[in-house]
Amino acid sequence: MAAESAKEFEALEAQATTLLDLFRRAGYEQVAPSIIQPADIFLDQIGEAIRSRTYVFTDLAGDELCLRPDLTVPVSRLYLERHPNADQPARYCYNGPAFRFRPQGDDQAHPREFRQAGIECFGEADTESADVEIVLLAVEAVRRAGLKDFRLRFGDIALFYALLDALALPERWRLKLRHHFWRPPVFHALLARLAKGERPNGDGPASALAASLTGLTTERAEELVGAYLDTEGLPLSGNRSLSEITARLLDHAADLRAEPLPREVATVIDYYLAVSASPKEAVERIAMIAKGAGIDLGGALSANTRRFERLAKSGVALGQAVFATEFGRSLEYYSGLVFQIEVAGLDEAIGGGGRYDGLLSYLGAPSAVPAIGSAIHTERLLAAVGRGG
Amino acid sequence: MASKLLIAVPSKGRLKDQTAALFERAGLALRNTGHERGYRGTLDGLGGVEVVYTSAAEIVHELKSGRVHLGVTGEDLIRETLADVDGSVEFLKPLGFGSADVVVAVPDCWIDVARMADLEDVAAQFAGVHGRRLRVATKYMNLTRRFFAGHGVAGYRIVESVGATEATPSAGTAELIVDITTTGTTLRANHLKVLEDGLILRSQAHLFASRAAPWRASTSKLRAAILAKLS
């Protein structure tokens, strides 16, 4: 148990009351989604970092279940249960346990069972205002709990996507770079390959076959690949179809023909991902990088300028804050603003959150639902406040 | 009892037979003792040693907790089960049997896939077409996770499989597998191919020493004696 002593339990309960009072008064309805969640839908959407630390088990009926490692997905599922058409805005708050396996053992800073207090905002069309609302509320929450000295770290996935969109590169490479954003070492290796003029897929044994597909229609290419499989005695089996295999060979054929990625384009991406500074400075530097590259990041950059202005006006001290373009690469469902609340001397954040506009359609919503939330690690918050934070 | 050296050896299958043959050749034949039929034994010609017969998987736990001093089991099981391998056991001697490669294998009709890097691309494509992640059938969940993470492959899910893993892709319950292979015959029979850089571990049986066991002068001496005979 996270709270082993009665005293600590009472302190956590008092803190939870403070947080939930604030959230409810801000218009967030308190909910308590199930602790036990279906493993499938859950694990498919969460990144590897947390997936590998989720407690998964099979019950007596043979269903694969998990102890929720996080509350965002359970609250999102609850929203869809109440609003299957996802056609109404809703604001929820919660305080409850979450569970994560700790490879180095269970300790105070990394308990395997901990309580998350948080807020989630669904369906708010004015996304800029919702972003500001969530950050303000999260900051106000840790302040009310007694935390004085902390700093904010920001990132923005949408800004990175805007950068890729604005740069001249083949769509399949753009998709590949987007996909690998979440794994920096792979990302940088891929970028280096492309910049050196190498093909992302190298020259595997199927290169010759791929080259022979150049310029063919999809149907004709599939026929050829099917004939090749027959000749080689490789029967199609499993769930991947002939058209999926052919599609990748056609991509490969296009790669073989493509001009290498201009070195300047790779440099722009590298420069962009190296930006880490105060929000004001970071936004200026990104604007300079864009200007130097002759590209327009459009609304994605000005949205950041406005967001930081609004936060500053509302009394959030951004002097110590950091905007880091690489930040936010751990939870794959994030799609826009990401932020966390950090305390000196603690390697993990007190709380954090972000925008996840793609998650609800993955979970079954009939259309995309703008969504953003934030969660606070309550044991860490209590410890930081106790240390005079 | 406290001063005795406890050595765990596999209680069934080829590993049991090969271990018995090895100790016999070294002049330390295994002898079953007592009424508990087959669960305890001694070593011929070396007093102060008690042999514990148990499963290869259980031997890993016995070594980790220090309930036995020495144990014979597969490196694959050690690396799969122990979070801190070097802090838990010492590799005393590779034994030259129980060889098996832990590999990543995909259907051989995936001619667009040759290496681990391809797998992440396929994962992205598969998620787009089928709306779910690639499934990897294996009993080596930890080895798989570490190896895939090291290659930057993340778009997959593990489905635990405890038997006939190699049949899961054609049965449609997984897209690819991580399994052991010795000659590759079973993989080929199931129309699977090993990825070029898909060798996770070249495993064989080892003699391991537990770091958690209560080592004393007497048990350390017995350990040296066994090791000398086996060499």
Residue A205, pLDDT > 80, answer no
Least confident stretch, A158-162, A238-242, A385-389, B32-36: B32-36
Domain that holds residue B51: 5-99+204-230
B11 and B77 in a single domain? The answer is yes
φ/ψ region of B184 (left if φ > 0, alpha if ψ in -120 to 50, else beta) reads: left
Q: Which of A186, A201, A245 sits opposite B110 (nearest CB)?
A: A245
pLDDT higher at A371 or A256: A371
- Contact indicator for B104, A159 with CB cutoff of 8 Å: no
Say how many domains are in chain B: 2
B181 and B198 in a single domain? The answer is yes
Residue A111 CB-half CA count within 13 A: 16
B13 and B91 in a single domain? The answer is yes
Could you tell me the two tokens for A135? 């950050």
pLDDT higher at A43 or B108: B108
Per residue in A295-338, pLDDT (tens digit) is 999 889 999 999 999 999 999 988 889 999 998 867 778 999 99
ipTM of the complex, rounded to two decimals? 0.84
Q: Distance of CA B89 to CAs A104, B24, B86, Å? A: 17, 25, 6
Taking residues A348-361, report their average pLDDT: 93
Chain A residues lying within 8 Å of B107, measured CB to CB: 237-238, 240
Residue A359, pLDDT > 50, answer yes
pLDDT higher at B28 or A45: B28
Residue-by-residue DSSP string for A178-222: HHHTTSHHHHHHHHHHHHTT--TTTT-TTHHHHHHTTT--HHHHH
CA angle B147, B153, B159 (to 5 degrees): 75
B55 and B124 in a single domain? The answer is no
Per residue in A264-288, pLDDT (tens digit) is 899 999 999 999 999 999 999 999 9
A256 touches chain B (CB under 8 A): no
Tell me, what CATH number does B188's domain have?
A: 3.40.190.10
- Contact indicator for B182, B175 with CB cutoff of 8 Å: no
Q: Which residues pair with A66 in a beta bridge?
A: A37, A56
Q: Which CATH class is domain A6-150+343-386?
A: alpha beta
Query: Where are chain A's structural domains?
Result: 6-150+343-386, 161-198+260-322, 207-257
B84 and B14 in a single domain? The answer is yes
pLDDT, chain A, mean: 89
d(CA B223, CA B22): 16
Taking residues A87-112, report their average pLDDT: 87
**Among residues of chain B, what percentage have pLDDT more than 90?**
74
> Do B121 and A248 make contact, defined as CB atoms within 8 angstroms?
yes
The pLDDT assigned to A1 comes to 43
A179 touches chain B (CB under 8 A): yes
B126 and B57 in a single domain? The answer is no
d(CA A163, CA A274): 14
What pTM does this model have? 0.79
Q: Are strands A29-30 and A351-355 parallel, antiparallel or unpaired?
A: unpaired
pLDDT higher at A292 or B117: A292
Q: Which of A52, A206, A232 sits opposite B145 (nearest CB)?
A: A52
Q: Which residues pair with A227 in a beta bridge?
A: none
B95 and B209 in a single domain? The answer is yes
Q: Which of A43, A201, A205 sits opposite B157 (nearest CB)?
A: A43
B194 and B143 in a single domain? The answer is yes
Residue B202, pLDDT > 90, answer yes
Chain A residues lying within 8 Å of B168, measured CB to CB: none
Q: What is the DSSP letter of A152?
A: E
Per residue in A206-235, pLDDT (tens digit) is 778 888 888 888 999 999 999 999 999 999
pLDDT band at A58 (very low <50, low <70, confident <90, very high): confident
Taking residues B14-38, report their average pLDDT: 86
Could you tell me the two tokens for B215? 């080592």
B106 and B159 in a single domain? The answer is yes
Q: Which of A43, A234, A238 sits opposite B170 (nearest CB)?
A: A238
**Among residues of chain A, what percentage have pLDDT more than 70?**
94
B196 and B210 in a single domain? The answer is no
B91 and B33 in a single domain? The answer is yes
Least confident stretch, A141-155, A251-265, A266-280: A251-265
Q: Distance of CA A324 to CAs A319, A329, A342, A375, Å? A: 14, 11, 14, 20
B contact test, residue of A41, A63, A232, A240 with most B CBs within 10 A: A240
> Do A238 and B130 make contact, defined as CB atoms within 8 angstroms?
no
Residue B141, pLDDT > 60, answer yes
Residue B137, pLDDT > 50, answer yes
The pLDDT assigned to B38 comes to 61
Residue B153, pLDDT > 80, answer yes
- Contact indicator for A160, A336 with CB cutoff of 8 Å: no
B175 and B110 in a single domain? The answer is yes
